[in-house]
Amino acid sequence: MKFIQKTLILILLTTLSVKADQGYNLWLNYQKLTDPVSLKEYTGLLKSIHFDSNNSTQQVAAKELQNAFGILTGKDLPSNRSMESGSVVLLKESALKALQINQQVPDNADGFIIKQVTVQNKQIILISSQSDIGLLYGTFAFIKQLQLQKRLTGLNISESPKIQHRILNHWDNLNRTVERGYAGFSLWNWHTLPGYIDKRYIDYARANASVGINGTVLNNVNANSLILTHEWLLKVKALADAFRPYGIKVYLSARFTSPIEIGKLKTADPLNEDVAQWWKDKANEIYKLIPDFGGFLVKANSEGQPGPQDYGRTHTDGANVLARALAPHQGILMYRAFVYANEIPEDRAKQAYNEFTPLDGKFDKNVMVQVKNGAIDFQPREPFHPLFGALPKTPIMAELQLTQEYLGMSTNLAYLSPLFKECLDSDTYAKGKGSTVAKVIDGSLDGHNISGIAGVANIGNDINWCGHPFAQSNWYAFGKLAWNYSLSSEEIASEWIKMTFNTDASTLQAISQMMLQSRETIVNYMTPLGLHHIMSWSHHYGPGPWIKDKPRADWTSVYYHQADKNGIGFDRTSSGSNATAQYFPEVAKIFNDVNTCPEKYLLWFHHLPWSYKLKSGESLWDGIVKHYYLGVKEVEQMQNTWDSLASKVDGDIHLQVKQLLKVQHEEAILWRNSCVLYFQSISGLPLPKGLSKPEKDLNYYQNLEYKYVPGI
């Protein structure tokens, strides 16, 4: 009896200790390996680690490996000043020759090799790179091999990133609220900085480095100029110092009117000499504190933010004045193309292209124009932005949104790699077939030597960082795709699941299926067949297809769906706003013709009668309604799948996701009922046979009010 009691207590304690992290460890969730073959191989082969102990990046690499190895195998991996058989050896490429190691290391500072080689009769695991940070990336890649229980014999990995600047954009305000943030408050505790370095900052840097993210913009693009005052720069410096060993550069969003607000100048006119000097002095001040400061991100003349046009100047004037201040320090200026103005009577989807294409070739060399994946705003589905490929003389960064502003915030399970890839894999035809968005942004299509990609972060101070446990996968996927956009969503999901849940094959398959379906499910119950921006007003939570009469037409839903008794959809063809003409001819032709336009973009580009026949043979009206009902069904399927995994994943996480799926189910029903009833009030058509009528009436849904929705 006593024995049974003891065993039970032990089991309970073990379970509790596994549970204790509640998602905090992210995908670096090391657990004792279960596979005896791997355990035997790793403990048999690996004896020590050899690295340059004077280098702070190599120190953290060694610490990471020692920590991971200890937990995974239960054995120590001591550091050893000399190389021995069984050493994991971190060596810069420059040191290989002296040791007569003849190995090819990628010609890219961040690239690395991991190889089992024999050196001076000793069999070692060699991790080599041109840079220390490459050694850290290599070490994380090696740890992943162990986590995934891969064989070491004959190990031979060579990797380098396709994109140079892989940057998170935090929309964090200085008061710690996060614009469109659904995972608590900002990670940056400005009040206790610079004196107090929270352990979270280090864990944040570790997580980023483990997926190759190498930059972070700390503050919201709707920027507060206070961040550029000396007092606040000291806080920024403290973060930069903490992140440096992990290869994470710090960047800041700069408010265009800072020269007035904190510099006491009378103007922020970019062509004014005092203004140019102010930015130069400010950059010099920053670089004195933070020698490897990355640069500035600017949102100008958009949604009320100040910019060069306030002074009758162009975006190029605005970008170049800041770029010239940064250039002597090798800093970059990321200038956002997310601009639109309701004063211009033009389809909002066309405005960025109209404003930026005439400026191509006029930006300084260290300017990158940052373009959202689509021309409206991070919708559950958008066709790729026509600016990709349209600015051949300007390096273009893609901006993706990891935070789920329009995809159910932190209550909906949405794995976004398929959304990211839909954009990156799109063919712009800028230089003929194969001119994908990915090739535009990696610089290869137009021969640029700087390249970048940005992800609007979904990170806050919630215990699990991202709010929804599955939202962590989007942070992970962003890093992986920024490094190598050729990876498939399946591969990324599979790695993430194994590293996060440490799970078996059938569990892996079940979770993977849920993840891969999840974004399409959301499209089904929110914005099927190319519908877009029909969320509630301002906070964007829940359905609001009826939103109209707001200060600007392009902030209303009726502007986007254009539904009337005859039909629905935004006509962006040559008979409408002609936005299709902004794409290269091959693409324009496909989108412009209703017969070739992919149905997933149908109502994005076409206004069609309710009776229009879809490929399935059913009417557009029936098709729309069926998508809404299907979306709800798919959430139910996810719930069933998740329920079946109760004994397979950590209890706390299981319960959390189970509850969230229930909320998601209710929200999916809310979306379905609201949209179906609203569109029915316009089309006047009956529901397709077999579908049950929503319980409540339209009035009920239209009168729902959501108070204190996070993220505003």
Residue ranges binding ligand GCV (CB under 6 A) = 171, 179-180, 221-222, 299, 303, 338, 377, 405
Minimum Å gap between C-beta 405 and ligand GCV is 6
- 252 vs 624, beta carbon nearer ligand GCV: 252
Residue number, 179 or 261, with CB nearest to ligand GCV:
179
CB of 238 closer than 8 Å to CB of 250: no
- CA 107-108-111 angle, 5° bins: 105
Encoded tokens for 43: 């403990």
DSSP code string of 193-212: TTT---HHHHHHHHHHHHTT
Three-class SS state of 45 = helix
What φ, ψ does residue 527 adopt, rounded to 5°?
A: -140, 65
What span, in angstroms and rounded, lies between the C-alpha atoms of 580 and 124? 57
Task: For residue 194, say if its preceding peptide bond is cis, omega within 30 degrees of 0.
Answer: yes
Task: Report the residue number, 180 or 255, with the smaller CB distance to ligand GCV.
Answer: 180
Q: In whole angstroms, what is the distance from residue 224 CA to residue 238 CA?
A: 19
- The alpha helices in 593-650, defined as continuous H runs, are 602-605, 620-643
Q: Is 634 a catalytic residue?
A: no
Tokens encoding 318: 């605005």
Distance CA 163, CA 9 (A): 50
Given a contact cutoff of 8 angstroms between Cβ atoms, the answer to whether 641 and 514 are in contact is yes
Cβ-contact 87, 50 below 8 angstroms: yes
% helix / strand / coil in the chain, to the nearest 5?
45, 10, 45
Pick from 162, 106, 243, 143: nearest CA to 479 = 162
Report, in Å, the least distance between residue 356 CB and ligand GCV.
15
Catalytic residue flag (residue 35)? no
Least separation in angstroms between residue 69's CB and ligand GCV is 42
The CA distance from 27 to 564, in Å, is 48
Q: Tokens 């229930």 appear where? A: 662
Q: Which is nearer to ligand GCV, 398 or 638 (CB)?
A: 398
Between 181 and 569, CB nearer to ligand GCV? 181
Q: Do 160 and 110 form a contact (C-beta atoms < 8 A)? A: yes
Instruction: Give the CA count within 13 Å in the CB-facing half-sphere of 509.
Output: 2
692 secondary structure, DSSP code? P
Would you mind telling me the total number of residues written for the chain in this entry?
712
Q: Name the residue with tokens 């940057």.
A: 167
Quote the crossing angle between the two packed helices 489-501 and 132-147, to the nearest 10°. Answer: 70
Catalytic residue of the set 159, 269, 399, 405: 405
From the CB of 179, what's the least distance to ligand GCV, in Å?
5
110, 172, 377, 520: which is the annotated catalytic residue?
377
Question: How many angstroms separate the CA atoms of 667 and 539, rounded?
Answer: 15
CA angle 399, 400, 405 (to 5 degrees): 125
Taking alpha carbons only, the member of 372, 645, 397, 633 closest to residue 525 is 633
Residue 405 is among the residues annotated as catalytic for this protein: yes
With beta carbons less than 8 A apart as the criterion, state whether 538 and 550 touch.
Answer: no
Q: Which of 303, 491, 586, 697 is catalytic?
A: 303
CB of 540 to ligand GCV, least distance (A): 7
Which active-site residues does the annotation give? 303, 377, 405
